[in-house]
Amino acid sequence: MLKGQLPNTDKDLASCPRSPPTDDCPGPEKSPVVSLDIPAKISNEDPQAKTKLFTPKPPTKPRLERALSLDEKGWRRRRFRNSQEDLRSQDGASPSRGSLQDEVPAPPVHTCFPPCLSTSLQEIPTTHRPPRGSGGSPSSWGNCVSGMMGTSLDLLHRERPSAGSSPRLASGLPSRPLPAMDWNVASDSLRTANKVDADHADYKLRLQTKLFRAHSSLGPGRPPSPLACDSCSLRSAKSSFSLLAPIRTKDVRSRSYLEGSLLASGALMGADELARYFPDRNVALFVATWNMQGQKELPANLDELLLPAEADYAQDLYVVGVQEGCSDRREWEARLQETLGPHYVMLQSAAHGALHISVLIRRDLIWFCSEVEISTVTTRIVSQIKTKGALGISFTFFGTSLLFITSHFTSGDGKVNERLLDYSKTIQGLALPKNVPDTCPYRSDSADVTTRFDGVFWFGDFNFRLSGGRVSVEAILRQDGEASVPALLRLDQLSREMERGSVFRGFQEPDIHFLPSYKFDIGKDSYDTSSKQRTPSYTDRVVYRSRHKEDICPLKYSSCPGIKTSDHRPVYGLFRLRVRPGRDNIPLAAGKFDRELYLVGIKRRISKEIQRQQALKTQHSSAICTVS
């Protein structure tokens, strides 16, 4: 920023380097002379001479004094005040933004420097100007310029000059060449580089190209958040160094946040808030089911189940249901938390007899969940023995209501009717939702819980078998391994019943490309070699239902052959779920999660890392010599 008064006598002007006085500067008082590094000069003889483009060059050794923690690209995108704004600010105006093309030049004032460049982030002090009758034109500004003018779009500091002193420039200078400029005040070249001007013709086009999100866990990496782009002036409340959107004070004063519509711009879970986190409105979802056979021994590592190699990124929401789970449920939950790490929190977990379900979500998304509701159904005749039944968890994420059901149906090769009865009891017995509003009540059915939600995922040990007997199934498996899957599915009882419409009405299942998940010898890859010789079958399944067409897209459906602690192999599915904006009348969960479990998971990860480092030190050392 220029501070104080610049020399206003011919003697003082002569003392300024490379700035000899000219004859066109009238009056005893003259405006400040700023040196321009402009290789071309405008002729004094022809004031209407044709303008020529020039390229300003920064000093040879720029030195950035910005802190390294700042976003360098964001800093360069900051919009600096242009010359027209600087001139207007001298008259008392302080425009925050605007296009030079829309400005009408005021009556020209005869000064000794052309107002083409913004020289400071702050206001330039008022200068002495001659009377308006002295005339002048933009083309005659060059007559007052002699020598070279240093151009910098960063901070320009200058202390009050003493006798014989010269201007001092700040060292914060751009690290790349600036665009070519001409003398026309309304030129596009005067716009700050890498900045979207709200008044420019291509503003909307340039803004739309930034609001996208490559959110596929199986595809390319996700781009940075579009919130880093700021199209406002330096005086705006927004900051290019923050991803948090500003909250207007009038909204905080006036809004009650107790009611809202889908199109309300200020809704806590409305369209604006949804676009900040999911511009494409797609959420990555992981659903898994596993019959643990009541084994106390858990796998040494759950990475194959929760973090499959096919997925480049972790998912936004994890739902894991187990049947015949281990007796220590808390240990199972701690293993899930430990595997996913501190980026995830346990939103809710529930148990019903031997059934258990866990819902983990990214911690920065927990604020957009409603209260979680739970309901259970027992399908076994003796209700005290809760080994067969269903457990349901429901909640609303933004404006999309979700229902997750894990079930364990009646076992046995020929008990198809009993399994169909278990299905009917479940859809009629689950009393959900309770307090959370139904997002589409006119399409709901009181006799079928799956019709009351936008998205339903039903997974578990359904116990539907492959008909034809053990001999015929083994013959197909011996033929061509995984290529025999289509032939096996023609014997699948569940596929046959779904085609008839007697079970899972309105549901779909992703394409199966894996071998039967039941029944294996524990710790081995061979199917049942006991005296019972059970038929290999696809008992563990994941099916889904969407109220809106194509809101759920399956990406991966597979099993985990490496986890062999049970006679069942875990089965999981990766999905893309389209989320819709919500209203303010949804009761929020207020960020509730299992804090104690979260701390246990972090401590376990730290302990394992310490043990790993100690093992590496021990491995590289011996009693004879030490390898460094």
The structural domains of the chain, with segments of one domain joined by +, span 271-605
Give me the pLDDT at residue 26, please: 44
DSSP class of 448: B
pLDDT value at 475 more than 80? yes
pLDDT value at 394 more than 60? yes
Region 549-564 average pLDDT = 96
By C-alpha distance, which of 119, 108, 168 is closest to 144?
108
Q: Which residue has the higher pLDDT, 181 or 138?
A: 181
pLDDT value at 430 more than 80? yes
Give me the pLDDT at residue 88, please: 57
The token pair that represents 34 in the structure block: 């700023």
Instruction: Quote the longest CA-to-CA distance of the chain.
Output: 115
User: Residues 6 or more apart from 615 whose CB is under 8 A from it?
Assistant: none
Asked if 590 and 407 touch (Cβ cutoff 8 Å), the reply is no
DSSP class of 438: P
Rounded percentage of the chain residues whose pLDDT exceeds 70: 57
Q: Which residue has the higher pLDDT, 335 or 196?
A: 335
Q: What are the helix and strand counts (H, E) for the chain? A: 13, 11
Region 462-480 average pLDDT = 91
Region 60-84 average pLDDT = 51
pLDDT value at 40 more than 50? no
Alpha helices in 69-112 (DSSP H): 72-76, 83-90
pLDDT value at 305 more than 50? yes
Q: If you count them, how many residues does the chain have?
A: 628
By C-alpha distance, which of 329, 382, 317, 320 is closest to 354?
329
pLDDT value at 237 more than 70? no
pLDDT value at 530 more than 80? yes
Distance CA 566, CA 440 (A): 41
Q: Which residue has the higher pLDDT, 221 or 307?
A: 307
According to the per-residue pLDDT averaged within each range, which of 129-143, 244-258, 423-437 is highest? Answer: 423-437
Give me the pLDDT at residue 82, please: 56
pLDDT digits (tens, 9 = 90+) for 183-224: 554 444 444 444 445 555 555 555 444 444 444 334 344 444
pLDDT digits (tens, 9 = 90+) for 582-613: 988 888 898 999 999 999 999 999 999 999 99
For 35, counting Cβ atoms within 10 Å of its Cβ (0-12 exposed, 13-18 middle, 19+ buried), the class is buried
Distance CA 402, CA 502 (A): 23
Give me the pLDDT at residue 373, please: 97
Region 247-261 average pLDDT = 75
Region 123-148 average pLDDT = 44
CATH H-level, domain 271-605: superfamily:
Endonuclease/exonuclease/phosphatase (3.60.10.10)
pLDDT digits (tens, 9 = 90+) for 73-89: 554 555 555 555 555 55
pLDDT value at 370 more than 60? yes
pLDDT value at 283 more than 80? yes
Give me the pLDDT at residue 596, please: 96
Give me the pLDDT at residue 273, please: 86
Give me the pLDDT at residue 16, please: 45
Conformational region of residue 121, where left means phi above 0, alpha means psi within -120 to 50, and beta covers everything else:
alpha
**Helix (H) / strand (E) containing 496:** helix 493-500
User: Residues 6 or more apart from 570 whose CB is under 8 A from it?
Assistant: 288, 289, 290, 305, 517, 540, 559, 560, 563
Region 362-378 average pLDDT = 95
Give me the pLDDT at residue 164, please: 47
Least confident window among 225-239, 305-319, 358-372, 375-389: 225-239
Region 221-229 average pLDDT = 43
According to the per-residue pLDDT averaged within each range, which of 21-30, 38-47, 186-195, 351-360 is highest? Answer: 351-360
pLDDT value at 564 more than 60? yes
Looking at every residue in the chain, the average pLDDT score rounds to 74
3-state SS assignment for residue 557: strand
Asked if 479 and 571 touch (Cβ cutoff 8 Å), the reply is no
pLDDT value at 519 more than 60? yes
pLDDT value at 439 more than 80? yes
Residue type at position 26: P
Rounded percentage of the chain residues whose pLDDT exceeds 90: 46
In this prediction, residue 342 has a pLDDT band, given cuts at 50, 70 and 90, of very high
The token pair that represents 127 in the structure block: 């200068």
According to the per-residue pLDDT averaged within each range, which of 58-62, 91-95, 208-212, 252-256 is highest? Answer: 252-256
pLDDT value at 148 more than 50? no
According to the per-residue pLDDT averaged within each range, which of 420-429, 472-481, 610-619 is highest? Answer: 420-429
User: Dihedrals φ, ψ of 480, to 5°?
Assistant: -150, 30
519 cis-preceded (ω within 30 degrees of 0): yes
pLDDT value at 21 more than 60? no
Asked if 511 and 542 touch (Cβ cutoff 8 Å), the reply is no
Give me the pLDDT at residue 425, please: 95
In this prediction, residue 293 has a pLDDT band, given cuts at 50, 70 and 90, of very high
Region 354-358 average pLDDT = 96
Give me the pLDDT at residue 374, please: 97
List the beta bridge partners of residue 540.
Answer: 461
Give me the pLDDT at residue 330, please: 95
Give me the pLDDT at residue 160, please: 47
pLDDT value at 44 more than 50? no
Region 372-387 average pLDDT = 81
In this prediction, residue 436 has a pLDDT band, given cuts at 50, 70 and 90, of very high
Give me the pLDDT at residue 381, please: 72
Query: 3-class secondary structure for 392-425?
Result: EEEEEECCEEEEEEEEECCCCCCCHHHHHHHHHH
pLDDT value at 418 more than 50? yes
Region 92-106 average pLDDT = 43
